[in-house]
Structure 1
């Protein structure tokens, strides 16, 4: 029975690619180091989460093409061998690197979305299995060991093995990028005002450059304008200066296109450095021509990260380990065409509320919905993050008193009840 014939002739039951994707998922889930595997039919790849927190995508076009003409059992065996090689090559180094002196030069910092932190493996969240710290909204800084053919995320066990603390590991990983950072600043063309390092194979760790102290400020000082950077995908970096509103628009648009086309997207949002040298989101006033695009970029980053977190929290609630309701964060388009995020606060329901552009509430006098900008709500009620979650969530329950609610209604946007 040939692959593509026989078993796959009856497309009314399932398509060939769907069957192949299910095979791939079943095979990958059998590996002990794989926490989860999900088939993306539209992109024809499998998204895999490993026990050390790493996320990998395995395209299926190549093994699918190789399996043409094979019968079902032969096709499955080919896929097993193909995926075994992929997993093995990625996990060549699974044990701690012996000795701090040997490990230190191999360390690199990387920026990664935070959506996988609450996934569970062996009864613990993925975030407990690796070294990480919050960096920017929905983004974490992690440290990896740079190996000749792969990378591995540093774990708490590595710190015990090496006898060093987390601050030392983070500082060492950043320091290992200093020479490259100095070189890129010296090569920065202030006439063009844009620096793009695609770093397709990841060998340069160009996406880590913003983490090097002074790198971004150095670009800005050289150009005499506020610097900004983007990390659309796992490896490369796009940087420039806000020399004009038009240039900001160009950079934001370019980063969004890169993010939308990235194999492993990170963030389309712009970032800059404050007066203390800290990385912070790059913001513009509402009348700036890039405001709507930046708001859309923030939503494109935040929504999938919070969606992954929401699935994990919902599973904890269903298992009886979480009492509060975890609100969803939705990426929506408002009536005026502006894209934003929204979350709902239902009165009297203990809720873990994610930070959103606007929060939806209900007017008890009319049962009509209205939406309040996050900053206005926070100023009125003093939202406080619960410990242990990133991105943070804020515990709310009862709506504020009538006087405060009236002020929120006055500052909000009305919907339909």
Structure 2
């Protein structure tokens, strides 16, 4: 008799919660969007892999696997309290900008649009993300942490040779930090050959795809990377990254004219839409709570969604701003002003480039939100609206 069955993600999280309680691990916060638990010491317990591994098992096997998994995480490998002991354990890790959500704020800085550089402490049995509390205990600055982490990473990045007409796919076994190799100055540029720049894809945090810039091949890789990104449990970015003349690594859509520029624009918009959607969902969830946005230092306002569309000039993102509604506007390519009549029916829309809108109206960036949002408290008055109507574009 087959006693196996499939748990839902919520049921599996509840099982993990019971085992956390049994082990005396307190303060774990479940993040359903990320399918993980966050602990007060900065540890993030991702459930994707173990959930996938338990498919088809019996309830007894689920429980035993979860128990072993959490026992290993709770191993006696404490974060060193002094800087000299911990510095060799630090490595940079790329994560989406919304990683951790509103409540978990590890040390981070922008790496690429919608992708941040975080720092992990690589312990024997687990990884811990560095937080401001760690910095205070070590008595060092964020700059020192980032510099040391990249120095440690340099010892892991290999010298590779890319072949024309093919690509290299590196699947991280857990200790390579392969996607972070793009952060090392000059590394990606060193892979170029015979006048062809190197191109990298990082669809999920355990996969790095490398190729030389051959338009037809790059087009196929854009399609494959998007498919992998959509299906990934730990998605990172559908975008390609390459180098400019200075050797700096940039998103492909910022690297100049190219036959695959439309694919790069599509990837950029898909990444922006995914990250803003995740942020919007969490903000709406916070609005429904009794204390609302107060814990995050944000004035109450409705978070606008981001839509992804394609026009004659390529893909773009656009977000609505409803008349007389205080909103948290994303930094989309365009903001769609929605004018309504006395019955609140939309009678006109004005597509305004974001930079234009920011220069004409009062938008206040919210410093605690990443990706960025701007508080739009006051709907444009009649003269400003007339000016914006003249600056609107046809999409």
Q: TM-score, normalised by structure 1?
A: 0.76
Q: 1:26 aligns with which of 14, 19, 27?
A: 14
Please say if residues 276 and 330 of structure 2, whose CA atoms lie closer than 8 Å, have aligned partners that are also in contact. Answer: yes
Separation in structure 2 between the aligned mates of residue 157 and residue 286 of structure 1, nearest angstrom: 41
- What does residue 202 of structure 2 align with? 231
**Cα displacement string for residues 114-144 of structure 1 (whole angstroms, at most 9, x for unaligned residues):** 223433xxxxx201xx221222222110111
CA distance change for structure 1 residues 271 and 63 in 2, over 3 Å: closer, same or farther?
closer
Separation in structure 2 between the aligned mates of residue 150 and residue 163 of structure 1, nearest angstrom: 23
Q: 1:343 aligns with which of 296, 312, 319?
A: 319
Show structure 2 runs of 5+ residues with no match: 21-25
Q: 1:66 aligns with which of 45, 53, 57?
A: 57
Separation in structure 2 between the aligned mates of residue 326 and residue 166 of structure 1, nearest angstrom: 33
Q: 2:85 aligns with which of 102, 114, 137?
A: 102
Please say if residues 188 and 198 of structure 2, whose CA atoms lie closer than 8 Å, have aligned partners that are also in contact. Answer: yes
* Shift of residue 162, structure 1, vs aligned partner: 2.6
- What does residue 375 of structure 2 align with? 395
- What does residue 330 of structure 1 align with? 306
Separation in structure 2 between the aligned mates of residue 291 and residue 383 of structure 1, nearest angstrom: 31
Q: How does 1:125-136 map onto structure 2 within 5 Å?
A: 125-127=103-105, 130-136=106-112
Separation in structure 2 between the aligned mates of residue 285 and residue 208 of structure 1, nearest angstrom: 20
Q: 1:362 aligns with which of 309, 333, 338?
A: 338
**Cα displacement string for residues 370-391 of structure 1 (whole angstroms, at most 9, x for unaligned residues):** 4334355446558553212211
Separation in structure 1 between the aligned mates of residue 119 and residue 253 of structure 2, nearest angstrom: 28
Please say if residues 120 and 130 of structure 2, whose CA atoms lie closer than 8 Å, have aligned partners that are also in contact. Answer: yes
CA distance change for structure 1 residues 279 and 395 in 2, over 3 Å: closer, same or farther?
farther
Q: How does 1:180-329 map onto structure 2 within 5 Å?
A: 180-181=156-157, 183-184=158-159, 187-189=160-162, 191-192=163-164, 196-220=168-192, 222-242=193-213, 244-274=214-244, 278-283=248-253, 289-318=259-288, 319-320=291-292, 321=294, 322-329=298-305
Separation in structure 2 between the aligned mates of residue 206 and residue 64 of structure 1, nearest angstrom: 28
Separation in structure 2 between the aligned mates of residue 227 and residue 163 of structure 1, nearest angstrom: 39
Question: Does 1:47 pair with 2:47?
Answer: no
* Shift of residue 33, structure 1, vs aligned partner: 5.3
Please say if residues 383 and 394 of structure 1, whose CA atoms lie closer than 8 Å, have aligned partners that are also in contact. Answer: yes
Separation in structure 2 between the aligned mates of residue 388 and residue 61 of structure 1, nearest angstrom: 34
* Shift of residue 216, structure 1, vs aligned partner: 2.2
Q: 2:354 aligns with which of 374, 385, 398?
A: 374
Please say if residues 295 and 340 of structure 1, whose CA atoms lie closer than 8 Å, have aligned partners that are also in contact. Answer: yes
* Shift of residue 150, structure 1, vs aligned partner: 3.2
Separation in structure 2 between the aligned mates of residue 61 and residue 79 of structure 1, nearest angstrom: 11
CA distance change for structure 1 residues 399 and 38 in 2, over 3 Å: closer, same or farther?
same
**Cα displacement string for residues 45-91 of structure 1 (whole angstroms, at most 9, x for unaligned residues):** x9213232636114445545331xxxxxxx3x543332232233234
Look up the SS of the partner of 1:254 in the other structure. helix
**Cα displacement string for residues 171-200 of structure 1 (whole angstroms, at most 9, x for unaligned residues):** 11111122343x32xx323x4276534234
Please say if residues 202 and 236 of structure 1, whose CA atoms lie closer than 8 Å, have aligned partners that are also in contact. Answer: no
* Shift of residue 212, structure 1, vs aligned partner: 0.9
Show structure 1 runs of 5+ residues with no match: 5-15, 40-45, 68-74, 120-124
